[in-house]
Amino acid sequence: MSEPETNQLHPDLGIPWQKMPRHVAVIMDGNGRWAQKRGLPRIEGHRHGSKSVRSTITAAAKLRLECLTLYSFSTENWKRPAEEVSALMELYRHYLISERAMIMNSNIRVRHLGDETNLPEPTLRELRETVRLSKDNTGMTLCLALNYSGRHELARAIRKLAGDVENQRLKVGDITEQLISESLDTAGLPDPDLLIRTAGEKRISNFLLWQISYAELYVTDVYWPDFTPEVLAEAVLDYSARDRRFGGLLPKNL
Q: Residue 253's pLDDT is what?
A: 55
**Which entry of 29, 31, 147, 193 is annotated as an active-site residue?**
29
Q: Contact 59/229 with Cβ under 8 angstroms?
A: yes
**Which entry of 7, 12, 31, 77 is annotated as an active-site residue?**
77
Name the residue range of residue 112's domain.
17-241
Q: Residue 244's pLDDT is what?
A: 83
**247 found inside a domain:** no
**145 found inside a domain:** yes
- Which stretches in the chain have pLDDT values below 50? none
Give the CATH number, domain containing residue 234. 3.40.1180.10
**9 found inside a domain:** no
**6 found inside a domain:** no
Q: Where are the beta strands (DSSP E) in 5-89?
A: 23-27, 67-74
**11 found inside a domain:** no
Q: What's this model's pTM, rounded to 2 decimal places?
A: 0.93
Number of domains in the chain: 1
**161 found inside a domain:** yes
Report residue 214: phi and psi, to 5°: -125, 20
Q: Residue 177's pLDDT is what?
A: 97
Q: Residue 124's pLDDT is what?
A: 98
Active site residue 77: yes
Q: Residue 245's pLDDT is what?
A: 75
Report residue 145: phi and psi, to 5°: -85, 95
Q: Contact 212/195 with Cβ under 8 angstroms?
A: yes
**107 found inside a domain:** yes
Active site residue 185: no
